[in-house]
Amino acid sequence: MEYNVHTLSNGIRLLHVPSASTISHSCIIINSGSRDEKEDQSGLAHFIEHLIFKQTSKRNTNQILNRLESVGADLNAYTTKEYTCIHASFLNPYMDRTLELFNDIVFHSTFPEEEIEKEKGVVLDEIASYQDQPEEAIYDDFEDLIFANHPMGRNILGSGESVTALQRTDILKFIADNYHTDKIVVAVIGNYSFSKIVRVGSKHYADIPENLYIKRRLTPIKPAIFRRSQVKPIAQAHTILGCHAYSLHESYKTGLLLLNNHFGGTGMSSVLNLQIREKYGIAYTIESGYSPLTDTGIFTLYFGTDIEKVDRALSLINKEFKRLRDKPLTEIQLQKAKNKFIGQIALGEENRIGLIISMAKSLLEYDRIDDLETVFKKIQSVTTADAATISSEILDERNLSSLTFYPLV
């Protein structure tokens, strides 16, 4: 896919992807997330993402929210362990308005004390709501164990205690320490000339003071294998298995993305879904996931089932693990997995907002964006030997830690 990049003197990069649509999509990605928080500031990056919509030096909450919604646009944001992202979808005439608003909320929010206190209540409710969903909460508890004593393991939302203790000074210092201009990408996919993107982007971002990146992140250490369980007031058992996996920059990353998609990814035809749900009717939800990060990664497998079926489900899962280790995918099986994965990626390009966010992240991580042809070549280059090596390293129950939530009986 065609794209253009312009780097401002302060390091902020402007990314433009041409599109003939009447609808545009834009995002500003900041390479800062929950892993950059201090131990006593858990939830701070996410809290800031909430607060930037509250008040700037020239707008109140209503003016911020109505700036784009009044013209039918959609504005939203999210925080991950490594990123903060603000994004919007809008009709083409409102690109300037969108980039100006991004600038205003990211760089000119004032964080008034009354809004800080008010938003603490909102986030505390969000934490409570999340804890009421064991299928979500188990991921956070598992990551806290798999990334023990490392900020990567802490809940992105923080805890009730940590959020309550956050102060305005914490917010201002976190932004100063982590919002590095050379680790920010402002991206637009839309029907504009690149020169217009550069002109409008420069108008809104060229004057942001330079704040260059200084490496501070610590790579997490693999913990000893653990098997944990907790009893909770829930209706069914929830189990998650997992381990550290390949980072964004390791050669087996593509192979594990492919293998994970085949084994337990999206779609009803994954191995796990066919064997555990369809054949035996054991679990309504069973899925695996792989998230490559800057300097590590995490592979997980989750299922929820009745308490008396947990051991049976684990036995069947381990059987599938062993099958892939002892009898690796044939060339024909691997090619089928590649065809499925390539098709899903191609269809995913129709999600334009997801596409521009993905491209902006790629620019941050690799200083380049691979076109679909290059991505597909990487997938096609995965060999049966690669799949066998990945299976032996990742899909081995002896190397997987586990956490189970059991219901009260």
> Would you say residue 211 lies in a domain?
no
* Domain co-membership, 16 together with 142: yes
75-107 tens-digit pLDDT: 999 999 999 999 999 999 999 999 999 999 999
* Domain co-membership, 9 together with 47: yes
Is the pLDDT at 214 greater than 90? The verdict is no
* Domain co-membership, 193 together with 249: no
> Would you say residue 210 lies in a domain?
no
> Would you say residue 110 lies in a domain?
yes
Q: What is the pLDDT of residue 99?
A: 98
> Would you say residue 142 lies in a domain?
yes
> Would you say residue 307 lies in a domain?
yes
If one counts the domains in the chain, the total is: 2
* Domain co-membership, 180 together with 257: no
Is the pLDDT at 114 greater than 80? The verdict is yes
> Would you say residue 215 lies in a domain?
no
* Domain co-membership, 152 together with 267: no
> Would you say residue 400 lies in a domain?
yes
> Would you say residue 213 lies in a domain?
no
Average pLDDT along the chain: 95
Single out the residue in 173, 205, 237 at which a domain terminates. 205
Is the pLDDT at 130 greater than 90? The verdict is no
Q: What is the pLDDT of residue 77?
A: 98
Give the structural domain span for 45. 4-205
* Domain co-membership, 167 together with 240: no
* Domain co-membership, 184 together with 285: no
Q: What is the pLDDT of residue 135?
A: 92
Average pLDDT over residues 236-258: 97
* Domain co-membership, 186 together with 240: no
Q: Which band of pLDDT confidence, cut at 50, 70 and 90, is reported for residue 265?
A: confident
* Domain co-membership, 293 together with 163: no
* Domain co-membership, 113 together with 261: no
Q: Rounded to the nearest 10 degrees, what angle do helices 384-394 and 253-264 cross at?
A: 80
Q: What is the pLDDT of residue 268?
A: 82
* Domain co-membership, 38 together with 88: yes
Q: For the domain that residue 156 is a member of, what is the CATH number? A: 3.30.830.10
Does the pTM of the predicted model rise above 0.85?
yes
